[in-house]
Amino acid sequence: MFGLFKSNPTKKMRKQYDALLEKAMHAQRNGDIKTYSLLTAQSEQLWKEIEALEQGTPKS
């Protein structure tokens, strides 16, 4: 019953992931490849953390 009020830990992380990808896309469109690569790397790391949480394994 109280599981209804439990928040999904990955929901916030997915929003951050989407925001990072959007910022990366805008950086790429503006020709800022360095920022694009940094944001893409951050988003990939965040995605690995999301997958680890969803699978129930600790992040590495």
Residue extents of the structural domains in the chain: 10-56
In the chain, what is the straight-line distance between the N-terminal and C-terminal CA atoms, in Å? 33
Give the global pTM: 0.77
The C-alpha atoms of residue 60 and residue 42 are separated, in whole angstroms, by 15
* Contact criterion met (CB below 8 Å) for 15 and 34: no
Q: What is the pLDDT of residues 51-60, one digit of tens each?
A: 999 888 655 5
Q: Looking at residue 9, what is its pLDDT?
A: 79
Average pLDDT, the chain: 88
